[in-house]
Each structure stands twice: as C-alpha cells, then as structure tokens.
Chains A and B, each alone.
Chain A
Amino acid sequence: MDILKIRRDFPIFSQKPGPEKSEKSGSLIYFDTSATAQKPAIVIEALSRFYTSMNANVHRGLYELGESSTTHYEAVREKVAHFINAKHTEEIIFTKGTTEGINFIAASWAEQHLKQDDEIVLTQAEHHANLLPWQRVAQKTGAKLVFIPLDLETYTFKNPENYITSRTKLLAVTYSSNVLGEVWDHTQQELETLIAQAHSVGARVLIDAAQAVMHRRIDIQQLNPDFLVFSGHKMMGPMGVGVLYIKQALHDDVQPYQVGGSMVFSVSFEGASWAKSPQKFEAGTPPIAEVFGLGAAIEYINKNINFDELQKHEARLCSVLIDGLEKLEQISGIRIMGNKNWLRQHGHLVSFAIQGVHPHDIASYLGAKNIAVRAGHHCAQPLVNLLEVDALLRVSFGVYNTITEVEILLQELTDIVMVLRTQASTQSLSKNLNKILEL
C-alpha cells in the first residue's frame, strides 16, 4: 500500500492553504478522520456523474434512466452486503447515517419489544448517538439502562460478561470508541464472546460500527450482531448516507421507521400492508446520489486499501504520536486516554489532555497552522466526565496520514505548550460556585 500515491487521490490535500492573512503555510494536515474522512476524487466525481447523466428516482420510472438509477442503487446495496460479509443483500438498509440507524431500531424495534424492568446493556464509552435513543426507550418502556464500567487504569471493560443476565433484552455497544479508540480485546475476541453471551440469554445485539468501519474489516457473519450501523461519510463516502444492517430473521419484528412512498405492498384508504425488506424500511426518496457515491467509496477501498496494512499503518502513527507525547510529558503533564498497548497494536486515534493548557487553545493554534485536530467532549459527555477532564484533544488518523505529519504535530505541540502553560493555577473555582455548577 503506497500511502503517498493514495494521498494523491484526495483533492483536498492539493488545495491551496487557507486565506492569505492566516498563518497557514503548508497544505492541510488532517487529523480528524474520526469526525469525517476525506473523500477520494472518485467519490466526488460519482456525485457529479449521477446528477449529470443518471439523475432519476429509483423504483418508479419505467424509462431507461429510471431503470438504470434503480439498477445502480441496488448494485450498491449488494456491494455493501459483500463489503461487510452480510449473508443477504436485503439485510442492508440505507439510512442517512449512524444516528438515524440507532434511532430507527430504538423506535421501530425496542419500543415494541422492551417492557418494564427489561435491561439494555451499554458501555460507559458510548457516543451520545448510542446513549440518548436508549434513554428515551427506557423512559417510554420502563426498561433499565445498565452500563458496563470502564476501568480507568487500563481503559478496558471490567468483566463485561457479568452485566448480561436473564433480564438483558438488548446489548447495544460500540465497536470502537470515538474517544478512547480500541476498547475491546480483539486478540481474545472479547466482543464476539459478549455478543454470543447476549444471544444465549435471548437478547438482541446492536453494534455501533461508526468508528470501526474505516479501520478494520467488518465481518457480519463472524461478529453475528442482530443490528449494526455505520455512516458512509466516515468511510470516504458522501455525507447523508449510512447503513443499517438488520438480520433477516428480524425483518418481521422491526416496524418501518417511516411510512409513505415506495415502501408498501398495497394501500387502501383505510390501511396499508408493507413491502418486504429493504423497501419496507426505506420510505420516500432515498439519498440516491449519495448511495451511488458510497458505492464509489467501497470500490475505492476494495481496490486500494488492504485492511491489515491500513491497521498497521495507523497503529504506527499512533505509536509515533504516543512516543512523542511521552517525551513531551517531561515539560508538561500529559494524560493519554486509551489503552496504549492496543492503540500501538491496532489503534487509529489518540486522545489526550495537557495539564494547564486548554484543548481549545491547542486546537486553535494548530488550526492556524492548517493542522486539523478535534477538541472538546466528542459527543461523549458522560465518558469525558468519568475521565475527570473538561475536554480533551483527539488526533485521529486515516489512510492518507504520514509519519512526517505526526512529527510536525509534535513539534507544534511542544511550541504551544511552552507558550500557554501557566505556572500559577489561578483558575480554580471557588467552593460555593462549584456547588452552583453541579446543577
């Protein structure tokens, strides 16, 4: 895998640096792939090609353009099924993204199937997208949320199997954390084992694969979840399209998330019956151009990316960064949040906080140098509170990042820490005001 050659496929890296008055000097260094991946030209061109020469709605027009649009749309469904090794193409539902996929299952399956005192098992490391929908299900059904605790020494889960009981009706967990990176022991097949255990008590399983899909090969049949969700834009596809996998055996148990056009078998003035999956789950005009673009992204990945090599590449970037941060620790307290061993072996992001320097200031400084990192609570407030920081910095990698870029980042970090670190910690809250804050 030739990283520099791959990098040339992404037009954003050959754009001119920012506006003239900014300090931006070099071309973009993009360390925010966990938020969204950059797009290769082939994906951008696919969108334009669709609207230029293929635009027609799907499953409707009998004219050639309409038939061709339908054929291409359904071909991408097949590509996705193959990409994640799903058994049946009808198990692939197009959504607008991970968040919609999880809300879909919460509203169209969980609300009908969960009742008082049933338990939904989550981890303490979930993104808000895999927490808030379950909070709402719990409020509506009386089910309880149970959290597998995170060990803050090792950033691993403590005995996750203990949280699966006869009361468990749903296990909904992340495949890879958007804050901590790798949280499951993949050498021990920890997640697969937990999923099998949930099934053994009759529970269903939803996997949030948003952070995993661009970094490891997903094998549905090996992992064996009932539901799995991810977003197209995090795997170099366009924004506004995502995938919800629903195991075929559950197609009758899951209700349509929305009703309307193109999802019916027959309709009278009084009622309607649904078409079979996937139409049943895709009311209205889907994001056809985006699906087409997603197909281009999968083609690009299949042709250019070897997941084993990608994982090695990203893990090496993590190692260089962790080594550099550990050196930097000599001038300022640095806390890396995540299991360093796993990040070095198969990670794709590193989150950290630097004592006495707010992540926002670092991110702004780096931004002025055309280096994009993420600062904040990363849509995981309960986790960030658990880590006892206000906010943290996240550097996340993609196939296009290089070791040189990581070295530039480390140099800039050293400079900014020297400038911003304050000796006196004048900013502690007075006690009475702290109380007010604990609303």
Chain B
Amino acid sequence: MLYQEELMDHYKYPRNNKSVPNPDFAISELNPSCGDRIAIEGKIYENIITDLGFSGSGCVISQATASMLTEHCLGKSVDVALSLSKNDIIAMVGLEMGPTRLKCALLSLQVLQHGLLSLQENKGAL
C-alpha cells in the first residue's frame, strides 16, 4: 500500500473541506514546484480557533495533511497552532518523506500559520 490507511481516509473523506462563512482570515498559497494549492479560512474567538475550512487541489499528501491539520487545530489556541513545527507534521503523516514530498506535507501548515500571523498583524495595526 502506498500510504497509511489514516492518510488515505483523510484524502478520500476530507474533514473540514468547506468554506467558513464570514471568516476572520482567508488565505491561499501554492507550492510552485508541483502546483499543489491549499486555501484555509477560519474564525477566531478569544484566541481560540473556533472554525476552520480548507479547499485545494493536489496530491494525497498535501490534501490529507490539510484535513488532518484542520482537525488537529480546531478548538485549540492560536498559539498552539503557531507553535506546530515540521516534525509535528511528519509525525502526523507517519511517513518517511524526501525533500520534495515534504514540501507537499508542509504546505497546509505554512498556509494556516501565515493566515494566523496576518490576522495578528492586522490586529496589531488597529
């Protein structure tokens, strides 16, 4: 089997594959080397992530990680989401990946963290 069952489950039945009404942040990014795209929208209330949705296109790893990540972060604080690292994602995917595949796996974390940071910056500016 190519990927672990849990990963395939997230790919075939993605969680939080939706758009969020009146999101506090909406951001999307592209992995230019392979064309994977991930967009994430979310709502934050008192520093807690209360809603998250993603959409995108790409390979199993990029899409399944987005599903896993949104599921993992929902209900957690912004700080917890911002503190997630490359190693957390590798553990989540449960797969040894070369440098190219790793980019696919890290895309959604990058998008989510950029979204959360932009929200913090906007608030700081107010």
Task: Given A361-B2, A390-B58, verify A433-B28 contact (CB < 8 Å).
Answer: yes
Q: Is the interface of A mostly helix, strand, loop or mixed?
A: helix
Complex CA distance for A381 and B35, rounded to whole angstroms: 9
CB-CB nearest in chain A for B57: A427
The answer to the question of B27 belonging to the interface, with a C-beta cut-off of 8 Å to chain A, is yes
Residues of chain A at interface, number, CB under 8 A: 27
**Known: A433-B19, A433-B39. Is A358-B59 also a contact (CB below 8 A)?**
yes
**Interface residue tally on B, bucketed by range:** 20 to 34
- Of the listed stretches A205-213, A237-245, A279-287, A416-424, name the one at the interface; the rest are far from the partner chain: A416-424
Q: Are B34 and A361 in contact (CB under 8 A)?
A: no
Contact for A422 among B12, B34, B39, B62, CB less than 8 A: B12
* Cβ < 8 Å to B, chain A residues 389-439: 390-391, 416, 419-420, 422, 426-430, 432-433, 436-437
Q: Are A376 and B35 in contact (CB-based, < 8 A)?
A: yes
Q: Which residues of B contact A416 (CB under 8 A)?
A: 2
| A365 adjacent to chain B (CB < 8 Å) | yes
Report the separation of the CA atoms of residues A361 and B2 in the bound assembly, to the nearest whole angstrom: 9
Interface residue? A167 (CB, 8 A)? no
Whether B55 lies near A437 (C-beta < 8 A) is no
Also in contact, A437 and B34, with CB within 8 A (given A361-B59, A430-B19) = no
A216 is an interface residue with CB less than 8 A from chain B: no
A251 at the interface (CB under 8 A from B): no
Rounded to whole Å, the gap between the CB of A146 and the closest CB of chain B is 26
A426 lies within 8 A of B35 (CB) = no
Within 8 Å by CB of A420, from B14, B19, B35, B60, lies B60
* 14 residue pairs A–B, Cβ–Cβ below 8 Å: A358-B57, A358-B58, A390-B36, A419-B1, A420-B60, A422-B11, A426-B17, A427-B56, A428-B55, A429-B56, A432-B26, A433-B28, A436-B27, A437-B28
Residues of B within 8 A of A (CB): 1-2, 11-12, 14, 17, 19, 26-28, 30, 32-37, 39, 41, 55-63, 101, 104
A interface residues (Cβ-Cβ under 8 A, vs B) = 358-361, 364-365, 368, 375-377, 381, 384, 390-391, 416, 419-420, 422, 426-430, 432-433, 436-437
